């Protein structure tokens, strides 16, 4: 694993964010931004399925004992990354299809979403929205046992409601 970051050096990461390449960062940074906004201790690193298979397995195998409660995994080209991680851990995996060079991420989406029965990967939209929503889903999961976090999530939703209510059409 080439690099790991944590927004709070004193806290054990509870959400892991992995991506197949630094070229996925433009998309995956939107997951990290949401986790930071909610103050969730997290780590982010490159774990390439086809270039670092041993590290990928080690990451997945140690995820639970290291305290991770969710893993957000984004990939474009080698989009089996989320599924392979899910195969090696019972920590919930949130898959983000990153737009690929030739097929705009539709290939990544289908690869991630079509997991055979028995090993789930919760799959999100292609690109930025998917990355942000994967983080929000992970936060919603944590919020089921954290009332303070739940309240922050409700506030976050209410702000969006207000923005929509304040919208004006150029009529
Ligand atoms: C996958 O292949 C990555 O997830 C990335 O989306 C894609 C291309 O990787 P790079 O060639 O840009 O490193 O492993």
- Find, among 127, 134, 133, 142, the residue nearest to 41 by Cα: 142
Nearest CA to ligand 1 atom 8: 77
Token digits of residue 42: 């997290």
Could you read off the pLDDT of 74-113 as tens digits, one per residue? 999 999 999 999 999 999 999 999 999 999 999 999 999 9
Q: What is the pLDDT of residue 1?
A: 42
Q: What is the pLDDT of residue 5?
A: 54
Residue 152 is assigned to a structural domain of this protein: no
Residue 161 is assigned to a structural domain of this protein: no
What's the pLDDT band for 132 if we cut at 50, 70, 90? very high
Nearest CA to ligand 1 atom 1: 77
Q: Are 2 and 43 in contact (CB under 8 A)?
A: no
Strand order in the sheet with 15-19: 5-6, 42-46, 15-19, 70-75, 93-97, 122-123
Domain count, the chain: 1
Q: What is the spatial distance between Cα 3 and Cα 152, in angstroms, rounded to a whole number?
A: 30
- Paired strand residues for 6: 43
For residue 60, the enclosing domain spans 5-145
Token digits of residue 25: 């960062």
Check if the interface score ipTM surpasses 0.90: yes
Residue 168 is assigned to a structural domain of this protein: no
* Ligand 1: lining residues by beta carbon, under 6 Å: 19-21, 23-24, 48, 75-78, 98
Residue 74 is assigned to a structural domain of this protein: yes
Residue 155 is assigned to a structural domain of this protein: no
How far apart are the CA of 52 and the centre of ligand 1, in A? Answer: 12
Ligand 1 pocket mutation pick from 76, 103, 104 by most atoms within 8 angstroms of CB = 76
Token digits of residue 147: 């009332």
Ligand 1 pocket mutation pick from 20, 27, 28 by most atoms within 8 angstroms of CB = 20
CATH number for 62: 3.40.50.1970
Residue 157 is assigned to a structural domain of this protein: no
- Paired strand residues for 118: none
Residue 169 is assigned to a structural domain of this protein: no
Please state the separation of Cα 169 from the chain's center in Å.
34
């Amino acid at each position: 694993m080439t690099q790991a970051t944590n927004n709070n050096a004193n806290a054990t990461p509870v959400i892991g964010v992995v991506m197949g390449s630094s070229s996925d960062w433009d998309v995956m940074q939107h997951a990290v931004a949401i986790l930071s906004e909610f103050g969730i201790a997290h780590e982010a690193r490159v774990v390439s399925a086809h270039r670092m298979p041993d590290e990928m397995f080690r990451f997945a195998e140690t995820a639970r004992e290291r305290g991770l409660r969710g893993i957000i995994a984004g990939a474009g080209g080698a989009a089996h990354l989320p599924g392979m991680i899910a195969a090696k851990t019972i920590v919930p995996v949130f898959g983000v299809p990153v737009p690929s060079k030739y097929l705009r991420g539709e290939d990544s989406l289908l690869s991630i979403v079509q997991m055979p029965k028995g090993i789930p990967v919760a799959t999100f939209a292609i690109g930025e929205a998917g990355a942000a929503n994967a983080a929000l889903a992970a936060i919603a999961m944590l919020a089921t046992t954290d009332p303070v976090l739940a309240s922050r999530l409700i506030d976050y939703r209410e702000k969006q409601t207000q923005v929509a209510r304040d919208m004006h059409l150029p009529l």
